[in-house]
Amino acid sequence: MKNRKLFTLIGIATALFILKSCSNGNQNKKSEGETLLAANCYSCHSPTAGMDSRLAPPMIAVKNHYSKKYTSKEEFVTAMISFIQNPTKEKSLMKGAIKKFGLMSQMNFEEEKLKKIVTYIYENEISKPEWFDEHHQEKHQKKSENKEETSPLKKGQAMALKTKSALGKKLMKAINTGGSAHAIDFCNIQAMPITDSLAQLQNALIKRVSDKNRNPNNAANTEELKYIEKVKAQIANEEEYKGEVSLVDGKWVGYYPIITNAMCLQCHGEIAKDIAPATLAKIEEKYPNDLAKGYGVNELRGIWVVEFPQ
């Protein structure tokens, strides 16, 4: 009788151990919605990118706006899917984000995958950048915020960010449509005209330059190279880096760092590791003298140069 009880207790303990192990395994395993969110959305809505190096608001901010207006899961999912499938200013809940980053481009998401992404956002806690809470509090300090916005440094930075956002969204659309090889065609044909067009709208001269340029027209000059080397040294020493602005011949000239993320490596990473053969072939076809490969994440890819009236 004692042996039977002992075996029963051992069996129960074993079953509990197995159930706990399975539970822990399920907790550690990423859901499909989380995986899809990271793969399709975080290039723009990154939970880690800094305020000055992102293409769109963090996903936690998007969720907060939708949660305030749509309390039920069904309303939340329906409204967010409706916007993503056909983004318009009228449907947007984030007018400030449109002003800062521009309107989101229409993406070619499969509806089933899109529903899994949005459902995951509704049902789970979303990671937020380290600066998010502090920035949220500062938004309410309108007086100091408006004063900061008018400084030449911030004015140039806003122009660079607006241009970066527009290019980044069109680039993501090109990647989603035809992969990274198709993105090379996009950059070759459209990147400079889009940049010039946005510059004219903002009454400025805007360009991207680098010490390791892909397009010969994007090679940095002597003054720009000095700033690039300075920022590289700051990054290497884990020091804070930021944009700079100076008055040159009666005009403001601002320099703003361009930092690589995971998406950049598809075209600017290591050949054997990050760049697909088809993409590499397209790079060699369009840019035979390319210097812009071999980067890792969080490295200085180049800088925005923004020139505007005093």
Range of the domain at 51: 32-140
pLDDT at 133: 72
What pairing do the DSSP bridges indicate for beta strands 251-259 and 300-309?
antiparallel
213 in a structural domain:
yes
Regarding whether 283 and 232 lie in a shared domain, the answer is: yes
Structure tokens at 185: 């065609």
Residue 59 belongs to a domain with what CATH number?
1.10.760
Evaluated on CA atoms 264, 270, 275, 279, the torsion sign reads positive
Final residue before a domain boundary, out of 72, 107, 140 = 140
- Give the chain's residues under pLDDT 70: 1-29, 51-53, 135-149
27 in a structural domain:
no
pLDDT at 239: 92
Q: Is the pTM of this model over 0.85?
A: no
Regarding whether 205 and 126 lie in a shared domain, the answer is: no
In tens, the pLDDT along 173-197 reads 888 888 899 889 889 888 888 898 8
Regarding whether 169 and 124 lie in a shared domain, the answer is: no
2 in a structural domain:
no
Regarding whether 124 and 190 lie in a shared domain, the answer is: no
Confirm if 269 and 295 have CB atoms less than 8 A apart. yes
Measure the CA angle with vertex 100, ends 304 and 177; round to 5°: 75
249 in a structural domain:
yes
Regarding whether 167 and 115 lie in a shared domain, the answer is: no
Regarding whether 175 and 122 lie in a shared domain, the answer is: no
Name residue 38's amino acid.
Answer: A
pLDDT at 15: 43
26 in a structural domain:
no
- Counting the structural domains of the chain, the total is 2
Regarding whether 304 and 173 lie in a shared domain, the answer is: yes
Regarding whether 256 and 160 lie in a shared domain, the answer is: yes
Regarding whether 268 and 162 lie in a shared domain, the answer is: yes
Name residue 262's amino acid.
Answer: A
